[in-house]
Structure 1
Amino acid sequence: MSVQRIQTNDRLSGATIFSDLVFLSGQVPSDRSQDVAGQTAQVLEKIDALLIEAGSDRSHMLSAQIWLKDIEKDFAAMNAVWSDWLPAGCAPARATVEARLASADVLVEIMVIAVRKAA
């Protein structure tokens, strides 16, 4: 079986596909001037686009890892956006932790694993 790579550069791929599994790299916001709710919405839009390109969607997520710059301050706001975005009955296994992110103005990063939709 081969590995398919989406949006690849010298350092990473936006997503990789193996068999029916879709692995997204950590997604970060483009407009980092926004608060955590705005940044989370941007990241979820990126996740939607990558999942669609890979033949999946948010209802097919298996797991999610979420990193927040300040979990005490930002957890509730991030979670509100996440909950509004997530289809009912489709919550993936998830972990959310506080982490020092790659850039000081990134407040949230999200990585997911999904399964492709049946053809």
Structure 2
Amino acid sequence: MISTGPRPVAPFSHAVETDGWVFVTGQMPTDPDAPDAPLPEGIEAQTRRVVDNLKIVLGGIGLGLEHVTMARIYLTQFERDYAALNALWPRFFETGKLPARTTVGVTALAVGALVEIDLVARRPG
């Protein structure tokens, strides 16, 4: 668990590492400093908050987005939000160094979120 990380919405660890591979639990668009505050409005704001939370978790174990090898993104409004997500996503990574990615439409997410993202990262050897 990362002490400065977002409050978990279920029983899990923020991240688990084995043999240099890091599996980061899906993060929600909650504010770590105000976990009961309303979620940001819209897919762009929620995605930014989720990525900020992922960066907190990664930073807590000495990694960053540059170490991400795979991302899974879950959207509750896939048809409406997919294009906006795709427009925003590359801004979080160095040009030409996007992680592999799967995006899935789902019927609902915890805390009424529009988006959840989990990651696989690799610690440099």
User: Which TM bucket (shorter chain)?
Assistant: 0.7 to 0.9
- Percent sequence identity over matched residues? 32
| 2:18 alignment partner AA | F
Alignment gaps of 5+ in structure 2:
31-37
Confirm or deny: 8 A CA contact 1:6 1:16 kept in the other structure.
no
CA distance in 1, matches of 2:119, 2:25: 7
> Match for residue 49 of structure 2?
42
CA distance in 2, matches of 1:50, 1:102: 20
| 1:116 alignment partner AA | R
3-state SS, counterpart of residue 26 of structure 2: coil
CA distance in 1, matches of 2:62, 2:120: 13
CA distance in 1, matches of 2:101, 2:40: 26
Shift, 1:102, TM fit: 2.9
3-state SS, counterpart of residue 50 of structure 2: helix
| Alignment deviations for residues 40-90 of structure 1 (CA, whole Å, 9 cap, x no partner) | 000000111111112221111111100001111001112222111121122
Q: Normalising to structure 1: TM-score of the pair?
A: 0.84
CA distance in 2, matches of 1:36, 1:85: 15
How many residues are aligned here? 114
**Bigger strand fraction:** 1
3-state SS, counterpart of residue 32 of structure 1: coil
Indicate yes or no: 2:84 matched with 1:84.
no
Confirm or deny: 8 A CA contact 2:109 2:116 kept in the other structure.
no
| 1:19 alignment partner AA | D
Confirm or deny: 8 A CA contact 1:58 1:87 kept in the other structure.
no
| Alignment deviations for residues 1-56 of structure 1 (CA, whole Å, 9 cap, x no partner) | xxxx5459771011111121111001110142410000000000011111111222
Counterparts of residues 98-109 of structure 1 (less than 5 Å)? 98-103=105-110, 105-109=112-116
Confirm or deny: 8 A CA contact 1:26 1:110 kept in the other structure.
yes
> Match for residue 74 of structure 2?
67
CA distance in 1, matches of 2:44, 2:68: 21
